[in-house]
Amino acid sequence: MENRNVLVVGASVAGPALAYWLHRYGFDVTVAERAPAPRLGGQAVDIRGVAREAVERMGLAAEIRRAHTGARGLAFVDAAGRSTATVPADLLGHSGGAVAEIEITRGDLVRILHEATRADTEYVFGDGVIGLDQDDDGVTAHFAGGADRRFDLVVGADGLHSAVRAAVFGPESSYVRPLGSHLAIFATRSPVPLDGWWKLYSDPVRGGARTAGLYPIGVDGEARAMFFFDAPPPEFDRHDAVAGREFVADRFRGAGWVVPALLDAMWDAPDFHLDAASRVYMRRWSKGRVVLAGDAAHCPAPLSGMGTSLALVGAYVLAGELASAGGEYRTAFARYRHEMADYVERGQRLALDNIPAILPGSRTAVWVRDRTTRMLPWTRHLPRLPWAGGDGTDEAASALTLRDYAKRTRPVERTG
């Protein structure tokens, strides 16, 4: 096999999943991550449709299920905390609805993937890639620590703000499309009982839509607090956590429910994260010997319910196509893009449909959303709200048949 030496940049979900499959097919893999260790924070993520089959083939499904967050479904609440509408996790199929059957924190998924690959994969933490030079024979990766290393192929799996994409394809502004809203998230203790329900409180004001939420993690009160809101792009750097907290506090001033308590907790949260809600749109995912995977190639949008599934499936397909092509990257990259195109398009379309329901722009829109949601048990087989599975979330998440690449290649036995 040619082009066996592969650098994967990014150690979140797509990167380690890709490393798993590449090793299975006989590639030598290095994963580089600028963080000093696996990033274990973050919100809950869904594993839907064919992504469930992908983790089954990895042999990780049972472990992932054991790490389930325990979420029972979604509940909209009013300013007094009273439930106005609910969507149980089992109402719209195992992969439909706002909460899928398999819910796991991003941090737990990262941990599981890292543990499954660290024995076979070289991980380089705390040293990011700052430049790439490719020629007919390979790619030279320039690391922030000063080292230069040579690889046959490079995969950018480094997320929405991908450094690989910027270095090879051009500036972020050419591919990242802001959607006009923002999401802040951090770990906290819930000030109210959640009983397994992801609770969302929408309180639109003249300045735009705003929604606060609490997602339950386990049964001991641990939760993820989130603030989702419309606002013009801020003028401060997105890494400025103090300015970010002030931005959120100003936007949610005067809101009801438990928002004041969440804002107080936000100031001391060490894992506070704020970013603009954005999607990535690219006609091509590869250039020469460099290819993109996961959010770097096709981020759908935050709270889409599809980003993690797209990353897991994309890693499976990319590795399989490289193996089937014997490492001939031109053929493999083209097949990877073709195989994933419709699946990604469906996932991104669903993500855009989710936003109006999570961020209703008026009190009338909140009322309509809640009343329509309450009718779902009787109307679930009819056309309905896209965010609740009405345009076929379950179907879109399963809109790809995974090829059995093992029959077309000779996987090697894992050593760990």
Domain segments of the chain as ranges: 5-174+279-407
Give backbone dihedrals phi and psi of 337, rounded to 5 degrees, phi first.
Answer: -65, -45
**What pLDDT, in 10s, does the model give residues 318-377?**
999 999 999 999 999 999 999 999 999 988 887 777 788 889 989 999 999 899 888 877
Cβ burial, residue 136 (10 Å; 0-12/13-18/19+):
exposed
Q: Are 35 and 125 in contact (CB under 8 A)?
A: yes
pLDDT, tens digit, for every residue of 8-50? 999 999 999 999 999 999 999 999 999 999 988 778 888 988 9
User: Helix, strand or coil for residue 181?
Assistant: strand
Q: How far apart are CA 279 and CA 112, in angstroms?
A: 26
pLDDT in tens, 66-115: 998 888 889 999 999 999 999 888 776 666 667 778 889 999 999 999 99
Q: Which pairing describes strands 73-77 and 197-202: parallel, antiparallel, or unpaired?
A: parallel
Cα gap 263→260, rounded to integer Å:
5
Write the pLDDT tens digit of every residue in 196-218: 999 999 999 987 899 999 999 98
Six-digit token pair at 351? 């993500």
Torsion of Cα atoms, 33 then 106 then 18 then 116, to 10°: 90
Handedness of CA 403, 44, 166, 2 (dihedral sign): negative
156 Cα distance to chain centroid = 15
Distance CA 404, CA 37 (A): 33
Separation CA 15–CA 383 (nearest Å): 37
Per residue in 282-326, pLDDT (tens digit) is 999 999 999 999 999 999 877 777 899 999 999 999 999 999 999
> What CATH number does the domain located at 5-174+279-407 have?
3.50.50.60
Cα separation, 374 vs 266, whole angstroms: 32
Q: What is the DSSP string of 270-312?
A: TT-EEEEEEEE--S-SEETTEEE-THHHH---TT-S-HHHHHH
Cα 40 to Cα 96: distance, rounded to the nearest angstrom: 26
pTM: 0.91
Nearest alpha-carbon partner for 335 in 300, 285, 398: 285
Quick one: DSSP state of residue 68? Answer: B
Strands (E) located in 4-114: 5-9, 28-33, 44-46, 73-77, 83-88, 103-105
Question: Which DSSP state fits 359?
Answer: S
Token representation of residue 81 = 């905390």
Please tell me whether residue 232 adopts helix, strand or coil conformation. coil
- Higher-pLDDT residue of 134 and 407 is 134
